[in-house]
Amino acid sequence: MSSASGSAPVPSRFTSAGATPSGKRHRAITREQALASLADGIRACIHCRPDTELGVL
């Protein structure tokens, strides 16, 4: 999951496990956290499409 720049780490998008996000502000999350992030409106990466990999179309 990548965070927006600033003082508080607010998630901005997430990528699949095999993708290499740019920048230093990223961390691994569980499948359940990824699904909850999608439900909360966090954007999935448009290049690696982790939402499709999770079965969310």
Q: Distance from first CA to last CA of the chain, Å, rounded?
A: 19
Q: What is the predicted pLDDT for the residue at 49?
A: 85
pLDDT of residue 46: 83
Q: Do residues 5 and 13 make contact, with C-beta atoms less than 8 angstroms apart?
A: no
Q: Where are the domains of the chain?
A: 2-53
Q: What is the mean pLDDT of each run of 10 residues along the chain (57 residues)?
A: 55 67 71 89 85 84
Rounded to two decimals, the pTM is: 0.65
Give the DSSP letter string of 39-55: HTTPEEPTTT-HHHHTT
Geometric angle at alpha carbon 13, from 35 and 17, rounded to 5°: 65
